[in-house]
A and B are shown apart, each in its own frame.
Chain A
Amino acid sequence: MKKRKMFIRMITASLMRRRSRMIVALLSIAIGATILSGLVSIYYDVPRQMGAEFRNYGANVILTAGEGDFTLAAARQGQAKIPEDKLVGAAPYRYENVRINDIPVVAAGTDPEGAEKTSPYWRVEGEWFSGSGELLVGASVAEAFRLKEGDVIEVSYTPMAEDETTSDGEEEFIPDTYKTFTVMGVLQTGGSEENYIYMTLDDLTELTGAEGTLDVAELSVSASAGELDDLIAGINAGVKGVHASPVKRVTASEATVLNKLQALVLLVTIVVLALTMICVATTMTAVVAERRKEIGLRKAIGASDKSIIQEFMGESMLLGLLGGLLGSVLGFVFARQVSISVFSSSISYRPMLLPVTVLASIAVTGISSLMPIRSATDVDPALVLKGE
């Protein structure tokens, strides 16, 4: 019991007395540990964070008609199969031919909020449409009809002649329906969306006079390739009337690019870590090597090699422990700071990282001080004390 007390006293006393040197060593270990815990946190968080960025490409799952009618309820049912925290946005689409000034145009009815989330790349000059009587006009349509933000136009719909009425032989006249809209904004995408006009589903229902069926529903899901396949299989198995399929162009490309990015961060982490660890090791070696004289003195007054090694190792491991603790806190702060400034979202704390960082820094300091201690204890104390 007494022996242990003495041991602890010797270690702490030596740390306290050589304060400035020890702070230098502690600092270097803490930096190493900071880099370790910071980079590993970033490495684990990159796929999640980057995955969210990749949702800029828009929907990665589409729902189309399965068996029977593809109604809004069916689409919502399919959408409900995806956990809320993974679903970035969902937008149902129903396309109908309508007319502006008697010229046919394709109108899409959708959920404005959902569309804004599934298609973040849509560039709108003016305002986003949100309520009844508001219209988003594709750039090509706007150019053809000379429309601009704030214009008020009338959109008409010619109901399809139903089979039953024509089979009677008599021509039943169904009048066109009209509705007035305000152009809220002009949509630019560089794709076929520029040829459509967008309104809310309710408006389209009102205009066409019938609920109708959806053509497609877009889902933007933040999930890895494997999870996405499972979710799609879940929808296909669980919801009748809906067929889910991945948008290959988006999912396949995302997997490729995301893998590369993660590999990049992994390699960078490994290289930085390796170099930092060597740096810590050289510092520790230097710190121990300059105490050769002390070792010589101890040996001269009768200390055994074993007890010297024990004491020095205890000292450096204590440093490793302190540095590791300090570093894992700093590393987490750093990783969170990076995450906030790059992805503007906080990072999840990984409890496993604390023991790993502490153990790693103890191991590195221990191993790097073991070698110089060994070589110091090999020397004849008389020679060391004499200063040769």
Chain B
Amino acid sequence: MFLRMIRGTLFRQWKKMLMIAFTIALGASLASAMLSVMLDVGDKVNQELKTYGANITVVPKENSVLSELYEVEDGSVQGAYLNEEELGKIKTIFWAFNIVDFAPFVNVTASLDDGTEVQCVGSWFDHHMDLPTGETLDTGIASMRSWWELKEGSWLDEQLLADTADAAMIGKDLAEKLGLSAGDKIHLTGSASDRELRIAGVYDAGGTEDMQIFLQLDTAQALADLDGCVDKIEVSALTTPENELSERAAKDPSSLTVAQMETWTCTAYASSICYEIQQVITGSVAAPVRQVADSEGAILGKTQLLMILITILSLIGAALGICNLVTASVMERSQEIGLMKAIGAQNLSVALLVLCEIFLTAIVGGIAGFFAGFGFAQLIGHTVFGAAVELKPMVVPIVAVLVVLVTLIGSIPAIRMLLGLRPTEVLHGR
């Protein structure tokens, strides 16, 4: 009989029930869309912040201090180098998935035919790597110098045959000084060999790089007989903003307790990624670039907090909206319920009946709303970041609990009113 009555309400009053389901669906979709976006916004903004370039630099241990200091005097101190062979290992560390890009750099000085000395930098442009793990990776300065503005020509493309070894890119200030433009040839003489290079493109980097020539890594190495040597590696990694623990760990990992050590190594702090990199690259010192790492942390934190507050506002909005409608629709049925009470229904059974009806509707509405909300989240993700918003499993229970709670709270005033109804008055139409 109970089931029949519920079924009766759902089918006969389907218009009203549809309206409740619709409102609940709207609220649920709002909640699930905002929660999905909020939980994923950190990762997405982190990706965007990668346009600022590397947040970790790796340099040889011995070199770092003294050669730079002494360089002031004679300019040609042979420092230590990192081994090019080991570069692939960066992608094999525990945090391999957090490493977005990395590129090696080697600085050499070469002279032109007229004796002018120029700073040459050997690097990867869009280097293709086969990793020991069997994966492949394309990385290099094409993605790590996204702020370079191409003035002439095109980016040097390592995959193209024509560009392979004998091409270079030149900074706009140097190009201007030497009167060079894209397509010209230059003849560079290094300490070990000489090369004739074609200028593939002229870039505007808005900094000291404007006075440099960028070559491919092996070309630059050949010029100065530095086969397999790398001066510096820049790594762009997705990191978690630093906190007190990570700062302490960065100074001295051995000062941590076992539990703290575990937390530290299992969180993607810039310092713990640096630590891992130092383990795989022999004789290296990896340090976070404060300018990028700190600012990333600040901006990520603010964006997430902003989204959390917007989410809370919309959750409150959705909750009150649902509450309102549930109250309104239950009160509307006072006559029907008065009649039930008049022919002898107990308060408990009336309340149970109304609750059951509303919950059935809420479940249908909530499920529909959840999927609709996830769709909205995808819409936002694709429009803003050009990537899908990941579905975090914790969104499902949060939305479910929210819908149940809100529906329950929304029905309380209505049910209290129903219980207080006096059947004679209601039926009389007062």
Contact = CB atoms under 8 A, between A and B. Distances in A.
A104 interface: yes
B19 to A, nearest CB: 6
Interface in A178-205: 188-192, 195
B291 A276 contact: no
Contact of B49 (A140, A257, A334): A257
A246 B307 CA distance: 31
Contact of A27 (B22, B298, B324): B324
A253 B66 contact: no
Contacts of A320: none
B52 A35 contact: no
Given A143-B65, A271-B376, A272-B34, A58 B291 contact: yes
Given A286-B329, A290-B328, A343-B302, A249 B290 contact: no
Interface residues of A, number: 77
A10 interface: no
Nearest to B376: A271
A248 B149 contact: yes
B162 interface: no
Given A249-B207, A283-B324, A267 B384 contact: yes
Given A54-B295, A248-B148, A264-B380, A342 B305 contact: yes
A122 interface: yes
A271 B310 CA distance: 12
B70 interface: yes
B306 A42 contact: yes
Contact of A264 (B57, B72, B384): B384
A24 interface: yes
Contact of A56 (B298, B324, B327): B298
A275 B26 contact: yes
B81 to A, nearest CB: 18
Nearest to B327: A24
Interface in B320-367: 320-322, 324-325, 327-329, 331-332, 335
A287 interface: yes
Contact of A190 (B72, B204, B291): B291
Interface residues of B, number: 75
Contacts of B293: 190
Given A32-B317, A283-B325, A341 B305 contact: yes
Contacts of A267: 379-380, 383-384
Interface string B280-293: 00000001111111
A374 interface: no
Given A189-B291, A282-B19, A103 B69 contact: yes
B205 interface: yes
Given A123-B290, A189-B291, A342 B309 contact: yes
B51 interface: yes
Contacts of A276: 30, 314, 317-318, 321
A227 to B, nearest CB: 17
Given A53-B298, A268-B310, A247 B45 contact: no
Contact of A50 (B19, B299, B318): B299
Nearest to B320: A31
B23 interface: yes
B27 interface: yes
B380 A268 contact: yes
B299 A275 contact: no
B329 to A, nearest CB: 6
A265 B314 CA distance: 13
Interface in B25-66: 26-27, 29-30, 33-34, 37, 41, 45, 48-49, 51-53, 56-57, 64-66
Contacts of A290: 328, 331-332
Contact of A285 (B19, B73, B295, B383): B19
Contacts of B69: 103-105, 140-141, 144, 195
Query: Which applies to chain A's interface (DSSP): helix, strand, loop or mixed?
Result: helix
B147 interface: yes
B310 A42 contact: yes
Given A28-B321, A141-B69, A191-B289, A249 B52 contact: yes
Contacts of B48: 256-257, 260
B205 A248 contact: yes
Contacts, number: 223
B309 A275 contact: no
A282 B325 contact: yes
Given A143-B65, A144-B65, A272-B30, A56 B320 contact: no
Interface in A260-311: 260-261, 263-265, 267-268, 271-272, 275-276, 278-280, 282-283, 285-287, 289-290
A64 to B, nearest CB: 11
A57 interface: yes
Nearest to B417: A20
A383 to B, nearest CB: 16
B206 interface: yes
A28 B324 contact: yes
Contact of A256 (B51, B290, B306): B51
Contacts of B325: 279, 282-283, 286
Given A31-B320, A31-B321, A104-B69, A50 B302 contact: yes
A357 B241 CA distance: 38
Contacts of A78: none
A252 interface: yes
B204 A248 contact: yes
A327 to B, nearest CB: 11
B318 to A, nearest CB: 7
B385 interface: yes
B424 interface: no
A195 B299 CA distance: 28
A121 B313 contact: no
Interface of B: 19, 22-23, 26-27, 29-30, 33-34, 37, 41, 45, 48-49, 51-53, 56-57, 64-66, 68-70, 72-73, 146-149, 204-207, 287-295, 298-299, 302-303, 305-307, 309-310, 313-314, 316-318, 320-322, 324-325, 327-329, 331-332, 335, 376, 379-380, 383-385
Interface of A: 21, 24-25, 27-28, 31-32, 34-35, 38-39, 42, 46, 50, 53-54, 56-58, 97, 103-106, 119-123, 140-141, 143-144, 188-192, 195, 245-253, 256-257, 260-261, 263-265, 267-268, 271-272, 275-276, 278-280, 282-283, 285-287, 289-290, 334, 338, 341-343, 387
15 contacts: A54-B299, A103-B70, A119-B291, A121-B294, A144-B66, A195-B68, A252-B51, A256-B48, A268-B307, A268-B310, A276-B318, A279-B26, A279-B317, A283-B321, A289-B332
Please provide the 4 A-B residue pairs with the shortest distance between their CB atoms, ordered closest to farther: A248-B206, A279-B321, A56-B295, A252-B147
Given A24-B324, A121-B291, A248-B205, 11 more contacts: A21-B328, A21-B331, A56-B295, A57-B292, A245-B206, A246-B206, A271-B30, A275-B26, A279-B23, A282-B26, A286-B19
